[in-house]
Chains A and B, each alone.
Chain A
Amino acid sequence: MRKTHEGDARVSEKEEKEKGRFIFERGYIDSERIIEPEKLELGGVDMSGRWGTLVLPRTIEQFDHTLFEEVKKLPGGKNIHRCWQCGNCTAVCPVAHAHPEFNPRYLIHITKMGYKTEIKKFKEYVYLCSGCGRCSVACPRDVDPKGVMSALSILFQRGV
């Protein structure tokens, strides 16, 4: 899925694997939350290595509706605010059956509430949407999830 050159991707994957590799149940922690300074000196004491590893909490500290407001401006996303998270869209989505990472219900929610780490983690999966429109038929509140996915992909390409 990465859009970097093959060589770069290999390096970054290797880096990620090594980051915090000694942490028990490492798989539960997103790489971006692990801070592992190569050299760390505190009060003249060398704290390099495992000592210096810091895992940032995953607590959500604020709700940021800027992306949500941008989505609302685009034709496909104009009804995103109606979503009440029933999950009908994900239930009928043929892509979601094959790829659990692609979950339109979830993408709408993290966009609405502006959960940045989650958006970063899942934004590239927006492009998996095939645009079949089954979600938009199933939606009880006329949100048009297909339209929201296309609005999101436009915004992500613009770098929002």
Chain B
Amino acid sequence: MIGLNPVLVVGAGPAGLSAACDLSQAGVRVLLVERREELGGAPARWKYHTLAPDFVPVSRVLGPLIEQVTKSELVEVKKGCVVESFRGSVGDFEVRITELKTRRSETRRVSCVVVATGFEHFDARVDPRYGYGRVPDVIGINELEAMLSQGRVVKRDGSAPKRIAFVFCVGSRDRSTNPWCCTVCCGVSIKQAIELKRILPDSQIYMIYMDVRTTGLWEKLYWDSMEKFGINYIRGRVGEVYHTGQKLLVKGEDTLVRGPFEALFDMVVLAVGMEPGEGTRQAASIFGLNTNEYGFLLPRTPNIHYDSGREGVYLAGSCVAPMSVEEAISDGSAAAMQCVKLMKVMRA
């Protein structure tokens, strides 16, 4: 829309990319600011392999979005940059954008803002019971995803793991860390277990779960993992993980038999949860947004994600609540639509 200031999109993950992509296709100029040096957000940063539930390669989902924002003349991409201040009113906000490497700042005028600052994977070092960071071969699902992208899953000594345990709800649904459910880690873990079973057919995989929350159509993953891939499920929570020289001793209870177990594994994969990151905290303070008790950005109405409660500032993606890539993409499009609506009013 010629004559109007561009839309500022903060964060180039699935939600931000989707918003920028849709806006540019609707003829709106976009200023896309990304803190990191690459586009794609968490999936690019952690080198996600495929997406649940249908094992679609990440490149097939995010590739076209990245291509559109890179090629489009309407999108100005600013990598390695952050927003440092924000003032003014809708249609004519003034933002200061700083390049992290050079500390060079510039002031720009934007008509409205889409905040899509995303999430961070839970840092399992915070919860010492799993030995993450101290004990070899205890890894997070984010690290396993990168291994699966390479097509090679090995222990630290280079050998292939034979017995693998997935521990669900690490840094989720736990008062000592984060009390919310990350909504996707069950599905992602099961997707990974199936991929592991394809690479290492002789491996034995045990999912140690409290509930299996494969919502919606993701349930198929759960069924297939049992019925087609022979993946075992143990209901319980892991209390401790020890390193015994060669293997990992996992202590827990099979709550279906009231039986404590201490079993040896070659590799332990922690289904780490999602939490709001530094970027989301900064966005809250710079744009003057409300946060909920957990630090996620708080929409005016809990069930309407895009409405930040501040005119001209819209929210999208996992900075609002934990969500899957598919949901983040729809969230981005929804926020983009709000910008288009607003600009139509401004032009009239």
Contacts and interface: CB of A to CB of B under 8 A. Distances in A.
A113 B260 CA distance: 13
Interface in A40-81: 58-63, 65, 81
Contacts of A110: 257
Interface stretch (B124-132, B189-197, B226-234): B226-234
B230 A81 contact: yes
Nearest to A106: B257
A60 B259 contact: yes
B23 to A, nearest CB: 44
B232 A112 contact: yes
A118 B233 contact: no
Interface in B223-279: 223, 226-227, 230, 232-235, 254, 256-257, 259-264
Given A60-B254, A113-B232, A81 B226 contact: yes
B206 interface: yes
B257 A59 contact: no
Interface residues of B, number: 19
A85 B233 CA distance: 10
Contacts of A109: 256-257
A113 B254 contact: yes
A63 B257 contact: no
A60 B226 contact: no
Contacts of A118: 257, 259
Grouping DSSP codes into helix (H, G, I), strand (E, B) and loop, the B interface class, with mixed when no group exceeds half, is strand
A85 B256 CA distance: 8
B343 to A, nearest CB: 50
Interface size class of A (residues with CB under 8 A): 10 to 19
A59 B223 CA distance: 29
A82 interface: yes
Contacts of B264: 62
Nearest to A79: B227
Contact of A58 (B223, B235, B260): B260
A62 to B, nearest CB: 6
A125 B255 CA distance: 22
A28 to B, nearest CB: 11
B261 A82 contact: no
A115 interface: yes
B260 A60 contact: yes
Given A85-B256, A113-B254, A60 B262 contact: yes
A143 to B, nearest CB: 10
Given A82-B226, A82-B227, A84-B226, A63 B232 contact: yes
Interface string B72-112: 00000000000000000000000000000000000000000
Contact of A61 (B206, B223, B226, B261): B261
A110 B257 CA distance: 8
B232 A115 contact: no
Given A60-B263, A61-B262, A112-B232, 10 more contacts: A58-B260, A60-B262, A65-B204, A106-B257, A109-B256, A109-B257, A113-B232, A113-B234, A115-B259, A118-B257
29 contacts: A58-B259, A58-B260, A59-B259, A59-B261, A59-B262, A60-B260, A60-B261, A60-B262, A61-B262, A61-B263, A63-B206, A63-B232, A63-B263, A65-B204, A65-B232, A81-B226, A81-B230, A82-B226, A84-B226, A85-B233, A85-B235, A85-B256, A106-B256, A112-B232, A113-B232, A113-B254, A115-B254, A115-B257, A115-B259
Interface of B: 204, 206, 223, 226-227, 230, 232-235, 254, 256-257, 259-264
Interface of A: 58-63, 65, 81-82, 84-85, 106, 109-110, 112-113, 115, 118, 141
- What are the 6 tightest A-B residue pairs by CB atom distance, in nearest-first order? A60-B261, A60-B259, A59-B262, A59-B260, A109-B256, A82-B227
